[in-house]
């Protein structure tokens, strides 16, 4: 892995989201090469056509509702590029990443991790000083 750096979402990056606030046990689905588990009260996110869920506590801590009704990730992230392909363990499953993809976390220690394709990450995030 390369050195972990701090980033923020670009100003124009917004997502549509709705909380799974229903009488349900949640559900599982296949994405990123593995089974993901969406729990009750997690958030379903549509990120420019890429649909996935975000853990409730993570979403509420890192996203803010915008006047447009969309949401913006306002908390910084820490990311590093993978030097080889492999699995990234996430809060709700795991994600396959290729060499060059970014392994991203909401905390500087890298506990809450996920993988993002390099092109998508560079399009939506910018480095912080």
Cβ atoms within 10 Å, residue 56: 17
pLDDT of 62 reads 96
Task: Calculate the alpha carbon distances from 87 to 6, 33, 76, 101 in Å.
Answer: 22, 9, 23, 12
Maximum distance among all Cα pairs of the chain, rounded to whole angstroms? 44
Q: What is the pTM of this model?
A: 0.86
Residue-wise pLDDT for 34-54, tens only, equals 999 999 999 999 998 999 999
Average pLDDT over residues 79-91: 95
């Amino acid at each position: 892995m390369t050195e972990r750096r701090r980033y923020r979402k670009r100003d124009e990056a917004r997502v549509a989201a709705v909380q799974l606030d229903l009488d349900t046990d949640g559900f599982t689905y296949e994405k990123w090469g593995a089974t993901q588990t969406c729990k009750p009260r997690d958030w379903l996110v549509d990120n420019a056509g890429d649909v996935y869920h975000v853990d409730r506590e993570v979403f509420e801590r890192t996203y803010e509702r915008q006047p447009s009704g969309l949401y913006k990730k306002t908390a910084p992230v820490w990311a590093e590029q993978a030097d080889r392909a492999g699995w990234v363990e996430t809060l709700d499953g795991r994600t396959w990443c290729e060499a060059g993809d970014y392994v991203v976390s909401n905390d500087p220690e890298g506990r809450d991790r996920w993988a993002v394709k390099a092109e998508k990450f560079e399009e939506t995030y910018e480095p912080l000083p």
